[in-house]
Structure 1
Amino acid sequence: MQTALTEFATLFARTARAIPADRLGAATPCAQYTVAELFAHLGGVLPDSELAAAKLPRHGEPTPLTEPAAVAAGAERAVAAWLKPEAMTGETRFGPGTYPASLAAGITLQELALHGWDLARATGQPFVVGEEAGTVLLGVVEQIADQARANGGYGQAVTAPADACAFDRALALSGRTPGWIG
Structure 2
Amino acid sequence: MNEIAARYRSRADNFEAKVAAVRPGQWSNPSPCDEWSARGVVGHIVDMHGAMLSPLGKSLSVAPTVEEDPLAAFVSARADVEALLTDSAIAASKVATPAGQLTVEQHVDQVVSADMVLHGWDLARATGQDDTIDPTEIEAMWPGLQQIPEEMRIPGAFGPGIVVFGPEVKISDDAPLQHRVLGLLGRDPYWSA
Q: TM class by shorter-chain length? A: 0.7 to 0.9
* Alpha carbons of structure 1 residues 135 and 90: separation in structure 2 relative to 1, 3 Å: farther
Q: Is the 8 A contact 1:109 1:137 kept in 2?
A: no
Instruction: Give the match's secondary structure for 2:56.
Output: coil
TM-score (norm 2): 0.71
Q: Quote the Cα distance in structure 1 between the aligned partners of 2:27 and 2:116.
A: 18
* Alpha carbons of structure 1 residues 7 and 164: separation in structure 2 relative to 1, 3 Å: farther
Partner residue in 2 for 1:21: 24
**Structure label with greater radius of gyration:** 2
TM-score (norm 1): 0.75
Q: Quote the Cα distance in structure 2 between the aligned partners of 1:84 and 1:137.
A: 27
Q: Is the 8 A contact 1:157 1:176 kept in 2?
A: yes
Q: Is the 8 A contact 1:141 1:174 kept in 2?
A: yes
Larger RCO, structures 1/2 (Cα 8 Å, 6+ apart): 1
Partner residue in 1 for 2:159: none
* Alpha carbons of structure 1 residues 22 and 59: separation in structure 2 relative to 1, 3 Å: closer
Instruction: Give the match's secondary structure for 1:92.
Output: strand
* Alpha carbons of structure 1 residues 130 and 43: separation in structure 2 relative to 1, 3 Å: closer
Which residue among 148, 153, 165 is the counterpart of 1:149?
153
**Cα distance, 1:142 vs structure 2:** 5.4
Which residue among 167, 172, 178 is the counterpart of 2:183?
172
Q: Is the 8 A contact 2:63 2:76 kept in 1?
A: no
Partner residue in 1 for 2:172: 161
Partner residue in 2 for 1:125: 129
**Cα distance, 1:40 vs structure 2:** 2.2
Q: Quote the Cα distance in structure 1 between the aligned partners of 2:137 and 2:7.
A: 4
Q: Deviations over 1:102-127 (max 9, x none)?
A: 24421112321111111100000013
Partner residue in 2 for 1:39: 42
Instruction: Give the match's secondary structure for 2:17.
Output: helix
**Cα distance, 1:86 vs structure 2:** 5.3
Instruction: Give the match's secondary structure for 2:10.
Output: helix
Instruction: Give the match's secondary structure for 2:95.
Output: strand
Partner residue in 2 for 1:69: 71
In structure 2, runs of 5+ residues without a counterpart are: 157-162
Q: Quote the Cα distance in structure 2 between the aligned partners of 1:139 and 1:91.
A: 27
Tell me the C-alpha RMSD between the 2 structures. 3.4
Q: Quote the Cα distance in structure 2 between the aligned partners of 1:83 and 1:106.
A: 17
**Cα distance, 1:155 vs structure 2:** 1.3
